[in-house]
A = this chain, B = another copy of it.
Amino acid sequence: MSVRFGILGAGRIGKVHARAVAATTGAALVAVSDPMEAAAKEVARDYGCAIRSIDEIAAAGDIDAVVICTPTDTHADLIEKFVRAGKHVFCEKPVDLDVARVKAALATVKAEGGTLMVGFNRRFDPDFMALKSAIDAGRVGEVEMITITSRDPGAPPADYIKVSGGIFRDMTIHDFDVARWLLGEEVETVYAAASVLTDPKIGELGDYDSATVVLRTASGKQCTISNSRRASYGYDQRIEVLGSKGLVSARNTHEANIELADGAGFSRPPLLNFFMTRYTAAYANEIAAFCKAVADCAPTPTTGEDGLKALELAEAALTSARTGAVVKVG
């Protein structure tokens, strides 16, 4: 039997998840909710589902699970509302920008015995999954040093930056989750060198646009994250893992797999430029994984706890960047 879904929020990311639900075997898209009527109607028309209010979806007997794609400041409230209503919850990252609020929400989830999966889509990217499989299969031996290169083609608008929580909570948070996923042990210290190099306006908003973060675990494993809000050549998303027996790397995805050679040299197209295009398969895979976990009554592959841990690393990085000192976590 299918898992029956409601989608909360029909914006850009809501549409991505609506399509994923519609395309997933074992999932059915029953309803969508959005205060912007036009957005809700578009999803309803494209996928043949009903338009309902948040409360109607919470009360609905024909809905098993919800995907929360609303603005960040509503996430924690909605998580609590829907686990109390007995729905399985998939929530886009982050749970909240405030660690205390996240902890309170997770406590509610736990008290209600609810399901909460946080949308760390990169764990579901086919190339990153292949890299993880190689590690798990022992192909590189014991993990020692990780390098994550994660650069956006361009900065988001100022209005978004203001409410984003800053580069570490908004952008690096994905890399923190990937780091935890691959390191296999928790981080002990965080160092972040952060600067404003691409656009002074970002600095005026109190944020950074260029950051190098080093995570160190108790056993001495090291992970470097290299972030920039500007990469003229596209959305740069790479991972390298050095282990005792070898190195495994996941490489970038270009717009097309062609090469042109002439007097100027050999050239390949830029990288896919947009996170939704780059991670199309990842978004589909994470909904499928959530759906399978719900259907099997099994734990979800990512949890609220993962959301909390990544946020704590973001807090530590921010403190380090501001103070210039190394910060202990946990």
Contacts and interface: CB of A to CB of B under 8 A. Distances in A.
Given A144-B210, A222-B195, A326-B325, A139 B260 contact: yes
Nearest to A212: B222
A263 to B, nearest CB: 5
Interface stretch (A56-64, A157-165, A238-246): A238-246
A182 interface: no
A301 interface: no
Contacts of A242: 151, 226, 228, 231
Nearest to A249: B259
A212 B214 contact: yes
A139 B256 CA distance: 15
B269 A265 contact: yes
Interface in A231-290: 231-234, 236, 242, 244-270
Contacts of A325: 325-326
A17 interface: no
A252 B142 CA distance: 23
B210 A222 contact: yes
Interface string A200-230: 0000000000111010100111101010101
A130 interface: yes
